[in-house]
Amino acid sequence: MITLVPGYQSVNLVRSQDAPCPEMSMSSLNDALENARLTYEQHVRTCRQCHADGAACAVAKHLLRIYNNARRDHMRSGGRHAATD
């Protein structure tokens, strides 16, 4: 994905969905999970479209997918007890 800001480029890193990144520590997996959860919850609380329609908008669905992937990675790494909330 390329942004419109001159001189800056954003790249989506694609990795296998079968296993968590081997270079991620447990604390970074916890941080990723917490960040994804907070981002999703904040969006749902503040999105006009989510509130107007009474259903999740496309962005909310995408953020939920990111949260679910982070939760799955966290659980695979052995953090099963903290991912239940």
pLDDT confidence of residue 80: 60
9 confidence band (pLDDT: 50, 70, 90): very low
Once rounded to an integer, what is the mean pLDDT over residues 49-70? 93
Given a cut of 50, whether residue 41 has pLDDT beyond it is yes
Given a cut of 80, whether residue 12 has pLDDT beyond it is no
How close are the terminal C-alpha atoms of the chain, in Å?
Answer: 32
Residue pair 72/15 in contact (Cβ under 8 Å)? The answer is no
Highest mean pLDDT of the ranges 20-24, 49-53, 61-65: 61-65
